[in-house]
Chain A
Amino acid sequence: QVRLVESGGGVVQPGRSLRLSCAASGFSFSNYGMHWVRQAPGKGLEWVTLISYDGSNRHYADSVKGRFTISRDNSKNTLYLQMNSLRVEDTAVYYCARDPSGVWAGARFDPWGQGTLVTVSS
């Protein structure tokens, strides 16, 4: 079945970097756009970034633009999120999600991984 498994979360000091991974299985990873969505503890959902099926198009939320980079390796069925210059307010559970829509207008997230917790604290 379709499965997404995030890894790489942990505790990191402000200003440092972290890279998250999302391993995909059960579907043709190279055919789908992918997203990262985060959720601060006890808060709502915040979209972070997207990447097209072939990696040629990427978009970022203003809150992470210039600090985070999304990438993918279709040969390894893996999505990445490189997070630099981390801030306390980046503390959240980070979810990867597949986009079955094929278009950016009308994008939706299905399914989601189980999430990985990133804590930014000194």
Chain B
Amino acid sequence: DIQMTQSPSSLSASLGDRVTITCRASQSISSYLSWYQQIPGKAPKLLIYAASSLQSGVPSRFSGSGSGTDFTLTISNLQPEDSATYYCQQSYNTEYTFGQGTKLEIK
């Protein structure tokens, strides 16, 4: 299986800040990487796919980059509704795997 490792596991930031979450794959996955946001008690929501493509309806404050083994999710101008857990997910092969999640707290 391809292992996905996110860092940090948790972080705290203030309104208006910019934060970056990193996801590293155990082998190259090209650009087959998606990012999801999960608010407590809710289903996950797709934010980014193909490493850098913004899902329709997602604010442009969210952006993704990377290829190969290293990827980042950047959230600019943090808003209260961004408080959530974020997951990366690889789809290089059909044994799809997720990162362990990064919990973002807005101060």
Contacts and interface: CB of A to CB of B under 8 A. Distances in A.
Contacts of A62: 1, 95
Interface residues of A, number: 24
A37 to B, nearest CB: 8
Given A62-B95, A105-B92, A45 B43 contact: no
Contact of A106 (B1, B36, B50): B50
Contacts of A114: 43
Nearest to B55: A110
Interface string A88-122: 00000001000001001111111111110000000
Interface residues of B, number: 25
A110 B46 contact: yes
A11 interface: no
A47 B98 contact: yes
Interface string B21-37: 00000000000101010
Contacts of A109: 34, 36, 44, 46, 89
Contact of A50 (B32, B44, B46, B94): B94
Contacts of B71: none
B89 A105 contact: no
Contacts of B34: 108-109
Contacts of B32: 105-106
B89 A115 contact: no
9 smallest A-B Cβ distances: which pairs?
A110-B46, A112-B43, A47-B96, A107-B91, A59-B94, A45-B98, A108-B49, A108-B34, A44-B101
Interface of B: 1, 32, 34, 36, 38, 43-46, 49-50, 55, 87, 89, 91-101
8 contacts: A45-B98, A59-B95, A62-B1, A62-B95, A101-B49, A106-B32, A107-B94, A112-B45
